[in-house]
Amino acid sequence: MDKLESFQEDVLQGLKDYPKRLQSKYFYDENGAALFQRIMDMPAYYLTACELEIFRDKTTELAEVLHVQQEPFDLIELGAGDAMKSSFLLEHLVREQVDFTYMPVDICEPVLLTLCDRLQQDLPGLEVIPWHGENLEMLRKATEQSDRRKIVLFLGSNIGNMELDEAHGFCRSVSRRLKADDMMLIGFDLQKNPHTVLEAYNDKEGITGAFNLNLLERINRELHADFNTTAFQHYQAYDPIDGGCRSYLVSLADQKVHIGEECIPFVINEPIAVEISRKYTTTEIDRMAIECGFAPIAQIADSKNWFVDAIWHI
């Protein structure tokens, strides 16, 4: 099945289900990636600034906890994107003449090529091997390719976009690929004042709303659908008990939407669940490490204690 076919299958399966749902991994077409960039620039979207601060101000501590002087290793960054945060660590390692190869993984080839070009200019001494494809598939290839020690980065609270069972399954799959002395560094957004969380996903300018509605536009563009995007409204909810920050697109009318040959009925106020951005407690993070076959070593936080990069070893 090609990419378009699996997109169509996932969309139809989700919209025929009850309650209706769409997968947030489909947010990131070209428009979605540009809108996410605007989200990251919003002052209310604190996550990027917090993790950037950790990588900028605690680089030496990160490098020490990761035992980078121990032996040559491969630094595999899952979902690397523009590697804005990890670049602080890369610069530090190059400066310290650490023996390592950087292996960025990304589903989007142009993003990966842009990153490689930038790294070649900014850090000419750095050895880079890009992996274009799905995270776990590329991790498998990278671990099969060499026996060198591996350090896996999974930043940006991307783990938060998975339901708990999915997040556990993902971390377990990573741990099964790793061996003694290998490590994983994973970014978690922490539970905090519920208003702070909600404001990060419910901006008045409507950028997050546009980001979510872009998924319907993408379905129109790529799957020959006729969503009237003005007849759907973004709704965000945060549950401070379980840490689930969920976004929905709510139908503003009784309406029918055609996707290719299929017809999907909506009743007024019916929601489509589109994304979870889960917030964790520090205890849950350590528990998750253990349940997934890792041993937690450290949690490095920003100055507000809003975000942590957790470091686990096998």
Contacts of 259 (CB under 8 A, 6+ apart): 8, 11, 12, 15, 219, 223, 224, 225
User: Is position 48 an interface residue for ligand AVI (rule: CB under 6 A)?
Assistant: no
User: Is position 143 an interface residue for ligand AVI (rule: CB under 6 A)?
Assistant: no
* Binding track, positions 7-46, relative to ligand AVI; x by CB under 6 A: --------------------------------x-------
User: Is position 158 an interface residue for ligand AVI (rule: CB under 6 A)?
Assistant: yes
* Binding track, positions 252-281, relative to ligand AVI; x by CB under 6 A: -----------------------x-x----
Contact of 275 with 261, CB cutoff 8 Å: no
From the number of C-beta atoms within 10 Å of its C-beta (0-12, 13-18, 19+), residue 96 rates as: exposed
How many C-beta neighbours within 10 Å does residue 95 have? 11
- Residue 2 — left, alpha, or beta (φ > 0 → left; ψ -120 to 50 → alpha)? beta
Q: What angle do CA 121, 127, 130 make, to 5 degrees?
A: 90
- Alpha helix segments (H runs only) across the chain: 3-16, 30-41, 46-57, 59-65, 86-95, 109-122, 135-145, 164-177, 194-201, 207-223, 282-291
User: Is position 208 an interface residue for ligand AVI (rule: CB under 6 A)?
Assistant: yes
User: Is position 170 an interface residue for ligand AVI (rule: CB under 6 A)?
Assistant: no
User: Is position 202 an interface residue for ligand AVI (rule: CB under 6 A)?
Assistant: no
Q: In this chain, which of 14, 156, 243, 271 binds ligand AVI, going by CB under 6 A?
A: 156
Stretch that binds ligand AVI, among 94-102, 128-136, 153-161, 219-227 (CB under 6 A): 153-161
User: Is position 80 an interface residue for ligand AVI (rule: CB under 6 A)?
Assistant: no
User: Is position 220 an interface residue for ligand AVI (rule: CB under 6 A)?
Assistant: no
Q: How many residues bind ligand AVI (CB under 6 A)?
A: 12
Q: Which residues bind ligand AVI (CB under 6 A)?
A: 39, 47, 156-158, 160-161, 201, 208, 211, 275, 277
